[in-house]
Amino acid sequence: MKIVVDENIPLADELFASFGEIVKLPGREISVQDVRHADALLVRSVTKVNRDLLDASKIRFVGTCTIGTDHLDKNYLDSAGIKYASAPGCNAWGVVQYDIAAMDYLGLFNTSLKVGIVGCGNVGGRLYRTLKALGFKCCCYDPFLTAEQIPDLTDWQALFECDIVCVHTPLTYDGPHPTYHMIDKEFLGVLKPGAVLLNAGRGEVVDNLALKKYLQSNNAKSLRVVLDVWENEPAIDAGLAELVDLATPHIAGYSFEGKTNGSLMIYEALAEFLGVEQLQCDATVRDVKQRTYGTPELLQVGTLSDAIRGSYDIVSDDKRLRAALPMLPAGFDSLRKNYPVRREFSHYGVPSALQVKAAALGFGSE
């Protein structure tokens, strides 16, 4: 069996070599010729998987080690009889960590503020539960959910009064509630003065040109912006990046645990596809986790803010992207490929005096 794998998928050799020959390639460069004689393709969000790529191949399984699937042409895969799998929720805690770190950096880790969450799936739902446990007031917009699922479900207009709006929807172009450019010129114009817009979902959900023009105008009303995802990645708009408060290269979910979870979930899906016994699969996953997760670290900190910053320095990610803007688009991809190890809150313990609130973020105890 021949398996073509994005070179940035962690643990590829440890997890997939037992199934066959592993061929690692840059995700954006995987070509028709590369997959022509392959049996399985394992990707991330940078690889467009469609008829053009696969029609001349013998691929029978596609796995994406990501939450999102908008880079997969699922209609084609279904029609071609190609099994596909994703990793929903794999890096949800990593993205929540990113959101919390951004809020803390901007001085907004304050429960008197109201947080709007657009999209309450794996990531948005976890962010909602985390913020509620900390005492924040939340407004959640997700037309696919009910009040029984999300008690603070609101209409679209309620977001206009929020102090912070976090966007965590998938990217869709059709259906009853398409998300492409749902954050547009009109939405920006009705946000309350001093509001914060944070997008760590999909870049195309926010109209980047409209946002850039708004921030350049005299009507911006002190809007602050955090962008981790962008239109036209990796050739992002450097001018927009220079205007926002925090700019990062699509790494919100790039925690060590998030990337590892994505690989493990696709390993399990491929093992099931190949008929590997469940006990054998479980043993492999357990062994990999034991060898890779390591021993928790204790943070000697005095405040919850210190713990957040001690576990993740979001400002460093912002500085690295700004330094790479003259080297776009290659600089963007280089930052993602060479991203330093970042552990989630759960890897760290904090003093017992902080445990009540820290536990809601996933921190352990000393």
Residues taking part in catalysis: 202, 233, 250
Taken in order 101, 105, 106, 107, is the CA torsion positive or negative?
A: positive
Please give the full DSSP string across 69-136, using - where no structure is assigned. Answer: -TTB-HHHHHHTT-EEE--TTTTHHHHHHHHHHHHHHTT---TTSEEEEE--SHHHHHHHHHHHHHT-
d(CA 164, CA 245): 13
Query: Which of 61, 124, 119, 117 is CA-nearest to residue 92?
Result: 124
d(CA 170, CA 179): 7
The pair phi, psi for residue 328, each rounded to 5°, is -65, 150
* Cis check: omega of the bond before 234, within 30 degrees of 0: yes
Strand, coil or helix: what is 139?
strand
The pair phi, psi for residue 80, each rounded to 5°, is -90, 0
Tell me the β-bridge partners of 21: 2
Residue 40 tokens read as: 């399985």
What is the signed CA dihedral for 311, 245, 95, 303, rounded to 10 degrees?
Answer: 30
d(CA 325, CA 330): 9
